Structure 1
């Protein structure tokens, strides 16, 4: 494969900021729509009718559940707890486990064609490299390894001195690859993790399950503001992401979605609705 710097430099990149948009294709811009639009974009990027695309998205008061979470033995009780907290629950169309989002958590999708021959490992490492570049003015201590006690733990948890502030996932659709990351920018990551901890406690109780669910320790999670002793906002980091792509020699294309993407989006959104039928009644 090409090195990481080559993969994010000297190309045309479509930059889409959905962080403040109320609608996507006249549909409410919630996490259901976000996962559907990433699938649509990954399809068109894979078909090479759209350029490499970076999409920024933010969803307040949302818990994103992985497919294994939908099999928790007392899921309904956990969802009621989430509802009582004022959170909206979504089951995403991929693996992984629960992640808590709010207005201080920035999500970025880097959507690439599959012809770079990126392995799953390569996709994760590309995003890891990008985040190291993004925050190199603040630190050179960002590491990637599983943080025990964090929510949605994995080999590409991003942390500083053992405190996790971001997690990376991947979604592969036909010939397109969406490498997705959430970054805790501000607010209390301890409070976010405490909610997820209680969600698992209530949803699993003392049942023995085939799938291993994390025993969450909120103290191993933090925001970049807590770790860097800064006061960054989501908007500031979004601008920094955009500038980094420019600094790498990229030309940023207009923020424009394609008609073909709307057609794919409609189908993918319907699939997401079907996946989420069982939990729809628990959302506020």
Structure 2
């Protein structure tokens, strides 16, 4: 099977050091814009990196919790901004120790199988940390937040989760990497969110029973000091080796025209949460 990571061109948009004023709502507008642009052939395959401070990103299913407002109030009291994303999955924690990577591919004529997108991201992370004698597994970690069949873990402890967003023949494969800090402390906040937003009531959708001990950061799992910059270096090095042309570039004119519309859509979706 052709290696999805091998692209004629890789453009990199690094927003990992933009700062506290860069909001997650903006990020999801960026990824939709890039999906539309790459899918239309207006831009090459693109890797976008981003970091957000003290943000909880909810999934669509989370907004159906019976006592959602109580849960959101708790998170805001803890100092988190709360938003709802436009891709699949459930609640996740973003902070200064979490690096997000989006790989945006054009969908070929035959299409890209959904598992192939997940496998590409898993392969990328394995290659980035190949110098450590650990096995990075991809399987659901029960008790983690936002569980899925492509949870990435070491020794049974999850440090990353992958999702996908498909739009106008563009595919964004997105991962959050808990680089440093305490994975279990992040999970404790999500556990308490569900406790307050569900309050023991039966729901049609099965929400995860969070067990904080099954989550950790890469720094904790690898037993070495690790920064966002360290991981960025590993990522850029890997992408460089998988392209004939590798460069950092801003949004092009086509994308700059699309961005306000996509940002507005995700902002409107978040109006209700913002008012809580």
What TM bracket, shorter-length normalisation? over 0.9
Report deviation, 1:239. 1.3
> How far 1:188 sits from its partner (Å)?
0.5
Structure 2 counterpart SS, 1:11: strand
2-side partners of 1:97 and 1:44: how far apart?
27
Provide the alpha-carbon RMSD of the alignment: 1.4
Counterpart pick for 1:84 among 77, 84, 87:
77
- 2:137 aligned residue (113, 136, 143): 143
Using the TM superposition, give the Cα deviation of residue 50 of structure 1 relative to its aligned residue in structure 2, in angstroms: 0.2
Specify the alignment match of 1:3 in structure 2.
2
Deviations 1:20-78 (A, max 9, x none): 1259xxxx521100001000001100011100000000001000000000111111111
Whole-Å Cα distance in 1 between the matches of residues 201 and 39 of structure 2? 42
Q: Deviations over 1:232-284 (max 9, x none)?
A: 100110111001111234421232211221222111111111111111124xx
Change (3 A) 1:250 1:195: farther
Measured against aligned partners, the alpha-carbon deviations of 1:92-111 in whole angstroms (never above 9, x if no partner) come to: 01221000010000000000
- Structure 1's 259 and 249: CA in aligned 2 closer, same or farther, altered over 3 A? closer
Alignment CA distance shift 1:259-1:10 (3 Å): closer
Alignment partner of 1:39 is 2:38: no
Q: Provide structure 2 residue ranges, at least 5 long, that are not aligned to the other structure.
A: none
Partner of 2:189: 195
1:226/1:174 CA distance change after superposition, 3 Å: same
- Count of matched residue pairs: 275
The residue that corresponds to 2:10 in the other structure is 13
Alignment of structure 1 residues 102-251 onto 2, 5 Å: 102-115=95-108, 117-251=111-245
C-alpha distance in 2 between matches for 1:94 and 1:213? 17
TM norm structure 1: 0.94
Tell me the secondary structure at the aligned position of residue 17 of structure 2. Answer: coil
Measured after TM superposition, the shift of residue 140 of structure 1 is: 4.1
Q: Find the aligned partners of 2:271 and 2:112 in 1 and give their Cα distance.
A: 34
Shift of 1:3: 2.7
Distance 1:73 1:10, change over 3 A: closer
Give, in whole Å, the separation in 1 of the partners of 2:27 and 2:91: 16
Partner Cα distance (1:269, 1:278) in 2: 16
SS across alignment from 1:42: helix
C-alpha distance in 2 between matches for 1:31 and 1:250: 32
